[in-house]
Chains A and B, each alone.
Chain A
């Protein structure tokens, strides 16, 4: 059974960079056809896609966040990572890592999600 687990600091100061890692177990991140993504959800609000990556390193980003987001992949560790720069209180959210069941451009649904991790932006 595929499992995804987010890890990283739960508290980040304003203007700093938020960094999270997703570790994939029970399957290979290098499997063809699958994309791997980050989605966030501010407390009490809806879902927002941040971006997604293929194991080759090809990325897709939400245009509204693109200038601050970098998503990378480490196939040797079966992990992918998120960096969000210049954070503000508006970036406080539960951050989920997830797997797309096909090409992001298709579009394709998300069939596996991590449990989510709350990141709070505060001084």
Chain B
């Protein structure tokens, strides 16, 4: 099987910068996507194609890629950003078309 690895949790104080990583062997070849999920709600796409931001998503959300790791960066974190964040991508063989990372709980202290 193919896995995307995320840290289980990240904690930051309001106004600071949060960085959430996602690692996978195929990430140099496949785009990654990031979702925000708040309790009791469906996920919301916050980053696509590694670093593009959908309309309506605040500019403080950004994405980057380096080798086998992609990173979601939230600058000037606000209390409302506390949520679970999931990366999504695929393997390079075409066997696993949609794979999610295990998720990272962002806590705003």
Residues of chain A at the chain B interface (Cβ within 8 Å)? 37, 39, 46-49, 52, 60, 62-64, 96, 101, 104-107, 109-111, 113-116
Contact = CB atoms under 8 A, between A and B. Distances in A.
Contact of A48 (B95, B97, B100): B100
A121 B39 CA distance: 22
B97 A113 contact: no
B42 A113 contact: yes
B31 interface: yes
B102 to A, nearest CB: 5
> Main SS of chain A's interface residues?
loop
Contacts of B42: 96, 113-116
Given A49-B98, A62-B96, 10 more contacts: A46-B86, A52-B97, A63-B95, A64-B1, A107-B33, A109-B48, A110-B35, A111-B54, A113-B42, A113-B43
B18 to A, nearest CB: 19
Contacts of B1: 63-64
B88 A109 contact: yes
Contact of A60 (B31, B97, B99): B97
Given A64-B1, A113-B43, A116-B42, A107 B30 contact: yes
Given A47-B43, A64-B1, A96-B42, A107 B90 contact: yes
A37 B99 CA distance: 13
Contacts of A63: 1, 95-96
Contact of A37 (B86, B98, B102): B98
Interface string B43-56: 11100100000100
